[in-house]
């Protein structure tokens, strides 16, 4: 995958605000602060295309990006952010469920989990949910720059177990800081788009 063009299209909460249908989409999901927006920026080679913040909860709506006029990358708002009200959690749930279950152009979802920690109950729930809808493409284990190579291998085994992944389900270690894992991920994205 060679990124020649990457641009923000729009930010949406409800289907009428989504960009027009008919273009394949790959979405990035995961806990708030896990590194979704940073990874998207790394993939597209733009420092600040998707907004990144040191405080969790930066991405609150569904953000659509046009890539090469060929497909879209979709940055989803994160879950598990403690400082949100019950009402906000509910509206997040509705927004996510509507997009993930009804969007026909959605080819696959890349689920990000933190390579340092055991997946949370919400990570497990999200992975099961994606599998149920046939959307679970690949898991990316983020922020691997923060741990040693040994720990990465050990933690990946834990993540696989906790998410009940099959041996042929793929998990890609990535670091937006060290810029590693991107080629593995983009070649998987190429296959997702080719097979869709
Ligand atoms: N060390 C390190 N820090 C990272 C990495 N990826 C992201 N971060 C940092 O983690 C924080 C959160 O990153 P974001 O990309 O905004 O995370 P997000 O998943 O989009 O978060 P929400 O929008 O709140 O859902 C920022 O301070 C990033 O700089 C990484 O690979 N390594
Ligand atoms: Mg974000």
Radius of gyration of the chain, Cα coordinates, nearest whole angstrom = 16
pLDDT bucket at 52, cuts 50 / 70 / 90: confident
Asked whether residue 149 is domain-assigned, the answer is yes
User: What percent of the chain clears pLDDT 90, i.e. is strictly above it?
Assistant: 81
Q: What is the residue-averaged pLDDT of the chain?
A: 93
**What span, in angstroms and rounded, lies between the C-alpha atoms of 34 and 39?**
10
Asked whether residue 154 is domain-assigned, the answer is yes
Asked whether residue 91 is domain-assigned, the answer is yes
pTM as predicted = 0.95
Asked whether residue 87 is domain-assigned, the answer is yes
Asked whether residue 1 is domain-assigned, the answer is no
Token digits for 185?
């991920």
Q: Is residue 176 within 6 Å of ligand 1 at its C-beta?
A: yes
Domains contained in the chain, number:
1
Nearest CA to ligand 1 atom 26: 54
What confidence tens digit (pLDDT) does each residue in 53-65 have?
A: 777 766 789 999 9
User: What percent of the chain clears pLDDT 70, i.e. is strictly above it?
Assistant: 98
What confidence tens digit (pLDDT) does each residue in 66-114 have?
A: 999 999 999 998 988 777 788 888 888 899 999 999 999 999 999 999 9
Residues around ion ligand 2, judged by CB within 5 A, are 36-37, 58-59
Q: Which CATH number goes with the domain that contains 21?
A: 3.40.50.300
User: What's the 3-state SS for the chain?
Assistant: CCCCCEEEEEEECCHHHCCCCCCCEEEEEEECCCCHHHHHHHHHCCCCCCCCCCCCCCCCCEEEEEECCCEEEEECCCECCCCCCHHHHHHHHHHHHHHHHHCCCEEEEEEEEECCCCCCHHHHHHHHHHHHCCCEEEEEEECHHHCCHHHHHHHHHHHHHHCCCCCCCCEEECECCCCECHHHHHHHHHHHHHHC
Q: Domain of residue 31: give its range.
A: 6-195
Q: Ligand 1: which atom is nearest the Cα of residue 142?
A: 31
Sheet strands side by side (includes 25-30)? 6-12, 62-67, 71-75, 25-30, 106-114, 136-142, 171-173
Asked whether residue 22 is domain-assigned, the answer is yes
What's the pLDDT at 92? Answer: 87
Asked whether residue 189 is domain-assigned, the answer is yes
């Amino acid at each position: 995958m060679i990124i020649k063009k990457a641009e923000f299209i729009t930010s949406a909460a409800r289907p009428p605000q989504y960009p027009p249908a008919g273009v394949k989409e790959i979405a990035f999901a995961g806990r708030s602060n896990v590194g979704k927006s940073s990874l998207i920026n790394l993939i597209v080679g733009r420092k600040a295309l998707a907004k990144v913040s040191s405080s969790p909860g930066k991405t609150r709506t569904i953000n659509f990006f046009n890539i090469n006029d060929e497909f879209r990358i979709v940055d989803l708002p994160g879950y598990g952010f403690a400082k949100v009200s019950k009402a906000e959690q509910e509206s997040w749930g509705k927004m996510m469920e509507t997009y993930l279950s009804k969007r026909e152009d959605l080819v696959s979802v890349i689920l990000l989990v933190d390579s340092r920690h055991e997946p949370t109950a919400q990570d497990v729930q999200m992975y099961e949910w994606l599998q149920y809808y046939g959307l679970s493409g690949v898991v990316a284990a983020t922020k691997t720059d923060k741990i040693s190579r040994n720990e990465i291998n050990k933690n990946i085994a834990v993540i696989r177990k906790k998410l009940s992944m099959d041996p042929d389900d793929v998990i890609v270690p990535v670091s937006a800081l060290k810029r590693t894992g991107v080629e593995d991920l983009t070649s998987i994205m190429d296959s997702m788009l080719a097979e869709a």
